[in-house]
Structure 1
């Protein structure tokens, strides 16, 4: 059961699915979805909007069906506003379950349900707080032990006062992430920006990715989110560096101009066989350029360090844009890439399509 969704636009709903690495033998799979809110709220008279819920289900042996009664709730997080839910769950190469959760919603990572943090210049926020809640983070848990899960012994905050599920922090809305199937199996996270910059982060254990001190590689200003502060810290209160993204796109709302997207959608490193010239390159997308169904795909190439170069991915069938909104990007076990789109921004209608990237003829 999910809350009543806004047909025109909504960031809640069924947002993620992950099969257990031993699914063929144990039938277990996991869903990330928005459940109704718990009673009460962040403060008296202010109810929560929804509950982030991660649940385990078990498929019927020999069939591709699952009985809803097999649901086992693994993790719940109170979510104050309707947006910035994050939404990806995936098993990493280490066998642990990774979960992305946004900063709680609203704007600026500020307001009801957003904890105060160490950076007093900006109001808020959950992205920089690692003590009060699990919002604004990438989580890492072990669903193969404990009840309903245990904490991997090498998680960065094990043994201390911080939330021990946290793997990395400083995110606004890490909607889509993926692990590289090859190479060093790096973790790529697409973090939706506010009004100025969109970003892709190369995430490592214990890393702080800046929000809401920074938006992308730029100093963020909660007093006016269309302006950049002249300066801001480069490290947090624990001395950890605020890690800049490897890819940054200008948001369409940026008053400096040159904007290309209203939201970034994280993708995958290509490891398939149909497009050999793209092997090892990161393919990602944008939801829309300007709020219309005109999404594009991008391809990026990394170096030894620093920012990755990126460019629009040329598509023979859609030379201008996809004529759709990109909702997600996925990858099969052969490393081929799929693009999930819809003709509508919100969860309505029957315009959804799934594209597979193949070589043009």
Structure 2
């Protein structure tokens, strides 16, 4: 980071241009208009805030993850300038060595989760991108356990215990969210590594949601395997919980329901309710639409309804296109969120999520609210923001009654990871 964060009172888009039609090329009418909400700025001076999480403890504090490699505490006194965790010395150099078709480096510090018994054991878990010494490997995706100091004011950097260390051939599609479920197991997301066929390959952890037991070990792994994981005793990786995903960017539990946003390729973005043993179709489908992995295109042709193994391909609970029927941009890269319960009555019970951006030249994220249903698709509205939304949306967080929106005010064309334009907003009425 070039300067310390201060207190105040990704997913890469796949399109290459917006239409030149005499306007800014952004669709204003695709989504139904939803309620108006406010955004209260609570922290600035970050680079790329990628998560906001809390721990099960008495302290009233939020932990804000910055993709560049630090975690900062936000409490009643604001955003602490001294990091709770700093692993910049063991991460890849963001923005370096990327091909010119990648507009936003997706590597970095990508996920943070606190052990359900953090107050007693001080354990937390992080996902990050580490350098590789192998010529054909871009970097390594690492899941590690760390232990906080006795007073829980910081993490001991020497306490790292590596749980997963995966070679990643390309600097993209590594996803990164990690969440403890109500069952006490750790759930994590991994993208397809830019090889779409990984989504249907049960012998790899790419393109999946995995589920592990951090409190036990096996003879071959530094973690345990829950006995009811769907592939235990069957063909495939025992860690797998769900598969057929492209790049699930941000997921969260709302009660016992795990909901993830999965970033699309050709035409469609989708949100999925993740269930054990489910196949979400990638690359055979993109959202509810047929997908040709050889051509990288989606269509309205008759689709496959099951995998080669006979698994039904599960449709998303909602989707949206990159462009509307007039060719104006709806948005690129869905940002998964959570069901809001609490302080903002207009969206109470709604699933809050976002659109990373609708433009390459201006900050043009969107906030969406979907109404969860017991079955079928979820109706979706676009929240209207009092004063407008001035960011690319990167992530969401919650701390009981409050929901937070994280993003950057830097446009894609302005090298967001080279600036400290990251901001955290609290959602208000």
Band of TM-score, shorter chain: 0.7 to 0.9
Identify unmatched segments of 5+ residues in structure 2.
Answer: 1-89, 97-102
Contact kept, 8 Å, 1:250 with 1:258, in 2: the verdict is no
Are residue 126 (structure 1) and residue 198 (structure 2) matched?
yes
Contact kept, 8 Å, 1:10 with 1:83, in 2: the verdict is yes
SS at match of 2:119: helix
Question: Which of 171, 177, 184 is the matching residue for 1:88?
Answer: 177
Question: Which of 178, 186, 207 is the matching residue for 2:252?
Answer: 178
SS at match of 1:71: strand
- The separation in 1 between residues aligned to 2:382 and 2:134, in whole angstroms, is 46
Contact kept, 8 Å, 1:102 with 1:173, in 2: the verdict is yes
Determine the structure 1 residue equivalent to 2:166.
Answer: 77
Are residue 166 (structure 1) and residue 240 (structure 2) matched?
yes
Question: Which of 349, 372, 375 is the matching residue for 1:280?
Answer: 349
**Aligned-residue RMSD, C-alpha:** 1.7
- The separation in 2 between residues aligned to 1:64 and 1:329, in whole angstroms, is 24
Determine the structure 1 residue equivalent to 2:153.
Answer: 64
Determine the structure 2 residue equivalent to 1:15.
Answer: 110
Provide Cα deviations, 1:238-289, integer angstroms capped at 9, x if missing partner. 221100100101114x8873641111100110012x1123222101001101
- The separation in 1 between residues aligned to 2:201 and 2:326, in whole angstroms, is 30
Identify unmatched segments of 5+ residues in structure 1.
Answer: 41-46, 111-124
Contact kept, 8 Å, 1:53 with 1:75, in 2: the verdict is yes
Contact kept, 8 Å, 1:197 with 1:251, in 2: the verdict is yes
- The separation in 1 between residues aligned to 2:154 and 2:298, in whole angstroms, is 51
Question: Which of 186, 191, 201 is the matching residue for 1:102?
Answer: 191
Are residue 355 (structure 1) and residue 355 (structure 2) matched?
no
More strand by share: 2
- The separation in 2 between residues aligned to 1:63 and 1:244, in whole angstroms, is 42
- The separation in 1 between residues aligned to 2:294 and 2:233, in whole angstroms, is 36
Determine the structure 1 residue equivalent to 2:379.
Answer: 309
Question: Post-superposition, which runs of at least 4 consecutive aligned residues in structure 1 deviate over 4 A?
Answer: none
1:47-62 matched pairs, under 5 angstroms: 47-62=136-151
Are residue 141 (structure 1) and residue 141 (structure 2) matched?
no
CA 1:341–1:143: 2 relative to 1, 3 Å = same
SS at match of 2:338: strand
Question: Which of 28, 36, 41 is the matching residue for 2:131?
Answer: 36
Structure ranking higher on relative contact order (CA contacts 8 Å, 6+ apart)? 2
Shift of 1:129: 0.7
- The separation in 1 between residues aligned to 2:368 and 2:326, in whole angstroms, is 22
SS at match of 1:224: coil
Shift of 1:303: 2.5
